[in-house]
Structure 1
Amino acid sequence: MNNVLKLSIFLLSFIFLSCKRPEIALKNKELKNFNLNNIFDTINASYINYEHFFSKISVESGFSKYSFKGTLKIRKDSMIWVSVVPMMGIEAARIVITNDSIKILNRIQNQAILKDMSSIKNYLGIDINYKTLQSLLLNELLFLDSTYEKNEFSLDPKKASNRFQLVQYTDKEFKNLSSKNDVLNHIFTVSNTNLRPSEIEIRNFSNSKNLKISYSEPSTTDSLQFPSSILINTVYDTAKIWININYLKVSILDSQDYKFSIPDGYKILN
């Protein structure tokens, strides 16, 4: 598999908006009056009610020292569609991710790669599903443990800051454990002003993996407030990989096409 396809899979494996609205600013002292259910409900209420997301993107990566431009489309809760254009405006790959499958057209080698979602876990060693990828891309809270409960989090207002943190361990007795296997630690740093995650960190103590996602301050484009970039850092033992996604043009549409078909003569790889 060439570098374009490797980077495409990696990008979309981690690939975690907000329309212009009156800002809901929370002061740290006001957080004391919020219980965790209220905090999560307020954050969720800040998510845009969209059906079709569109953006031109550029991507740089330390994974293969590769960069490309392309187009990202999302049909809410059902499909992530990406066109990869590394140079001269010629499409090198097209990727479609759904709740149960991954399809990649490698136009350079005339191949079609068909995988199920479990292949992401096998490839990266991280349990990621479609919802996780969508949340990462759209600046929403994301969880690698699907059984999380709101009451497992603790609220930590940051002093002299316009942010607060939500912290969770998947094992409530973590601090007293002699073994840290199978323990995940979620840390969400959230802006008091727009109630969007500014940083997400997920640590897996069983295999020393660390995923850190940093969102830039939101900018306004076509009446939408959305981060202009996402920086994704992963650490596994001594291996470090980073990806920076720049959003060049963001729009919410009533409809858009998601064309994907396998041309005659392409070799099918499973």
Structure 2
Amino acid sequence: MFRNAPPPPQQDTVAIQPPLKKDSLAVPLPASSVDPKLNVDQIDFTYLVAKSKVSFKSKDQDINNANVNLRINKDSLIWLSVSGVGIEVARAIITRDSIVVLDKIHREYSVYSYPQLSQRFNFALNYDLVQSLVIGNLPLPQNPAQKIKNERDYLLLRQREGKVMVENYIGEENRKLKKLLVVEQPTKNTLKLDYEDFTTLNNFLFPYTSLITLDYQSGSDGHYYQTLLQIRHNKVELTEKNPGFPFNVPAKYRRR
């Protein structure tokens, strides 16, 4: 689906069509600097409420067009309710410390820490990255000293944090993040993202469609895998009113 993929992944890896254009995000052309004071348009809010369709494909799971109710308390927590055939099948809450998932069909629950998930995918993950991917903001704060350059049809902002290199591809006209490439060194594991269907929402441009691809080499078996996530929002609201985040683990649920 994306360019410059790692060596061929395992056969249970899947892709979402259509593929993006063949030009590479990873190989920049010669670029010239633009106004260093240029600010990337960021979405600000207190609470976000959305009704969405989500598809998730990995070596272990295949979820197609699930109905998801999404609620976010900015910089604090993300709440998800997943429904299928008219009933809630799963619920999850993502906080700054962990992710808890309820499997309502099998009456089980799972708890994941970010270090655990980072080790599983061999890629550094944290709450701020997850939230930014969902709402379309920069995954790292913009530093005034960081230069923004012209790159084909985009403005390119390169950032680095520890072993992670981030390339933000920004629309020239609307100053919105359009594409994202995150590469972790020295593994070369990559996270790629493409935002589409921008719609005005409370004076902000909000991406109603996003495609996320994580290509990584497993730290346990050394094989290459691919995980894909597609989000299509049907309705999004930014509000000052707390929508509620009901979540509890029933006593009869077994921990996986």
Q: Do the structures match in fold with TM over 0.5?
A: yes
Q: Aligned partners of 2:175 and 2:202: how far apart in 1?
A: 20
Q: Aligned partners of 2:171 and 2:102: how far apart in 1?
A: 38
- Give the Å deviation of 1:58: 0.8
Query: 1:155 is matched with which residue?
Result: 148
Find runs of 4+ consecutive structure 1 residues off by over 6 angstroms.
none
Q: Aligned partners of 2:160 and 2:252: how far apart in 1?
A: 50
Is the CA contact 2:122–2:189 (under 8 Å) kept in the aligned structure 1?
Answer: no
1:83 aligns to 2:81 (yes or no): yes
In structure 2, relative to structure 1, the CA distance for the partners of 1:113 and 1:157 (3 Å cut) is same
- Give the Å deviation of 1:183: 4.8
Query: 1:166 is matched with which residue?
Result: 157
Query: 2:170 is matched with which residue?
Result: 190
Matched residue SS, 2:87: coil
Q: Which moved more, 1:234-243 or 1:244-253?
A: 234-243
Matched residue SS, 1:229: strand
Q: Aligned partners of 1:123 and 1:75: how far apart in 2?
A: 27
Q: 2:242 aligns with which of 235, 245, 255?
A: 255
Structure 1: which 5+ residue stretches go unaligned? 1-27, 171-181
Q: Aligned partners of 1:103 and 1:61: how far apart in 2?
A: 17
- Give the Å deviation of 1:215: 0.3
Letter in 1 for 2:183: R
In structure 2, relative to structure 1, the CA distance for the partners of 1:197 and 1:48 (3 Å cut) is closer
- How many residue pairs were aligned? 216
Q: Aligned partners of 2:160 and 2:242: how far apart in 1?
A: 40
Is the CA contact 2:93–2:247 (under 8 Å) kept in the aligned structure 1?
Answer: yes
- Give the Å deviation of 1:69: 1.4
- Give the Å deviation of 1:72: 0.9
Query: 2:12 is matched with which residue?
Result: none
Q: Aligned partners of 1:262 and 1:236: how far apart in 2?
A: 32
- Give the Å deviation of 1:98: 0.7
Q: 2:209 aligns with which of 221, 224, 229?
A: 229
Q: TM-score, normalised by structure 2?
A: 0.75
In structure 2, relative to structure 1, the CA distance for the partners of 1:61 and 1:106 (3 Å cut) is closer
Q: 1:59-70 to 2 correspondence within 5 Å?
A: 59-63=54-58, 64-67=61-64, 68-70=66-68
Q: 1:71-220 to 2 correspondence within 5 Å?
A: 71-85=69-83, 87-143=84-140, 151=145, 153-159=146-152, 161=153, 163-168=154-159, 183-220=163-200
- Give the Å deviation of 1:209: 0.8
Render the CA deviation track for 1:141-188: whole Å, top value 9, x for unaligned.
Answer: 114xx9x9664x4432135x3x21112456xxxxxxxxxxx8533211
Query: 2:13 is matched with which residue?
Result: none
Instruction: Write 1 or 2 for the structure with the bigger share of helix.
Output: 1
Q: Aligned partners of 2:53 and 2:99: how far apart in 1?
A: 21
Structure 2: which 5+ residue stretches go unaligned? 1-30, 218-223
Q: Aligned partners of 1:183 and 1:255: how far apart in 2?
A: 37
Matched residue SS, 1:241: strand
Is the CA contact 1:221–1:249 (under 8 Å) kept in the aligned structure 2?
Answer: no
Letter in 2 for 1:75: N
Instruction: Write 1 or 2 for the structure with the bigger share of strand.
Output: 2
Q: 1:10-21 to 2 correspondence within 5 Å?
A: none
Q: Aligned partners of 2:166 and 2:44: how far apart in 1?
A: 25
- Give the Å deviation of 1:117: 3.0
1:264 aligns to 2:251 (yes or no): yes
Is the CA contact 1:154–1:168 (under 8 Å) kept in the aligned structure 2?
Answer: no
Q: Aligned partners of 2:144 and 2:123: how far apart in 1?
A: 22
Q: TM-score, normalised by structure 1?
A: 0.71
Aligned-pair Cα RMSD in Å: 2.6
State the identity %: 22
Q: Aligned partners of 1:113 and 1:61: how far apart in 2?
A: 18
